[in-house]
Amino acid sequence: MGKLNITDFSIKWGFLIVMGVLFTMFSILEPAFISAGNLFNILLSVCIFGTMALGETFVLITDGMDLSIGSTAALSVMISAYLMVVLELGGLVTILLVLGIGVVVGLFISFLIVKVKIPDLLATLGMMFLVQGLQYIPSGGLSIGRGAIIKNGREAMGHFSEGFKYLGQGRILKVIPVPVIIMLGVAIIVYIILSKTKFGRIFYAIGGNPEAARLVGVNVNKYKVIAYVSSSFIASLAGILLAARVGRGDVGSQGTLLMDAIGAALIGFAVLGARKPNPFGTIVGAIFIGMLMNGLTMLSMQYFWQDFIKGSVLVAALAFTFGISKKHG
């Protein structure tokens, strides 16, 4: 019995304990690590992919997978820049249009999955390439900044509005970064939807047993559409935050966003022994990745180690979650 309790305990608290130990270790080895400024830097470094991961959580819960969110975020960066810099539209209009495009991407993905019946992994893989390619087309493959020469040889005269840039660069009370607040706001909303409303119950039910959900009267396809649209919508919101932070439209800004976001959501399985996608775990997973990268960089880890370490953490967290729980069950 004693052995069993240790297993239970480590499934529930193991991940948070590892995180606490690492935090303490970094603080001792490098005192600058726990300065308020650095801690906000960590949060700032995770808020883009952390936000995306929250959207991905909806899809993961319904037992799906959305591989297109990195591309959708990158497309949003380019469209934001194009609308403001080239077409000289205002910040608010730009935001609404970009979010609208996110919804359209989500609807198209849902169409492929629900109506055309392509398996989700393949449908979103295809859309990943499609959307990634789409970002190059308006600007003819070039990055967009003030004064850039766009396709027709005309110089782009518009600029990012101050209000728009505030979303990425602003600080509330001069300390707390606005995008961090936005990520936490999204997290709270997602948390409430998933654990307090009937919609959350239905999402989890579909993920657990879609046939049983159908037979208690759930319109399974409708909820799948909602999940993919939410995921794309939130990815385009994350793209807006990224565009606002850098203040220009760089091509290829998807970078490692997709892997970081999915990694955070999957690491979230291990938090508090949830063994399923959950918004709290997702945020903790994102902060864990950010903390580890920040701490190791401070201890002069070279940049080319980053992806390897992130991947190792993800594999370890998954092995921990599924390996232990399998023997357990």
Are the C-beta atoms of residues 143 and 248 closer than 8 Å to each other?
Answer: yes
SS (H, E, C) 76-136: HHHHHHHHHHHCCCCHHHHHHHHHHHHHHHHHHHHHHHHHCCCCHHHHHHHHHHHHHHHCC
Are the C-beta atoms of residues 186 and 286 closer than 8 Å to each other?
Answer: no
323 binds another protein (CB under 8 A): no
211 binds another protein (CB under 8 A): yes
Stretch that binds another protein, among 32-40, 108-116, 205-213, 303-311 (CB under 8 A): 205-213
- Residue 172: phi, psi to the nearest 5? -80, 130
- Element spanning 176, H or E: strand 176-177
188 binds another protein (CB under 8 A): no
In whole angstroms, what separates CA 279 from the centre of its chain? 11
196 binds another protein (CB under 8 A): yes
197 binds another protein (CB under 8 A): yes
198 binds another protein (CB under 8 A): yes
- Closer CB to another protein, 1 or 116, in the complex: 1
- Closer CB to another protein, 154 or 328, in the complex: 328
201 binds another protein (CB under 8 A): yes
Tokens representing 223 are: 């909820």
204 binds another protein (CB under 8 A): yes
Q: Show the site string, 140-179: x = touches another protein by CB under 8 A, - = not.
A: ----------------------------------------
Cα distance between residue 228 and residue 327, in whole Å: 33
Are the C-beta atoms of residues 147 and 156 closer than 8 Å to each other?
Answer: yes
215 binds another protein (CB under 8 A): yes
212 binds another protein (CB under 8 A): yes
Tokens representing 217 are: 């009267």
In angstroms, what is the minimal distance from the CB of 267 to another protein?
Answer: 19
Q: Show the site string, 249-288: x = touches another protein by CB under 8 A, - = not.
A: ---------------------------x------------
Are the C-beta atoms of residues 275 and 269 closer than 8 Å to each other?
Answer: yes
Stretch that binds another protein, among 22-30, 90-98, 158-166, 216-224 (CB under 8 A): 216-224
Are the C-beta atoms of residues 80 and 97 closer than 8 Å to each other?
Answer: no
Site residues for another protein, 3-32, by CB under 8 A, read: 4
In angstroms, what is the minimal distance from the CB of 46 to another protein?
Answer: 28
Q: Which among 60, 52, 53 is positioned nearest to 207, based on CA atoms?
A: 60
- Closer CB to another protein, 61 or 286, in the complex: 61
Q: In residues, how long is the chain? A: 329
List contacts with another protein (CB under 8 A): 1, 4, 192, 196-199, 201-202, 204-205, 208-209, 211-217, 219, 276
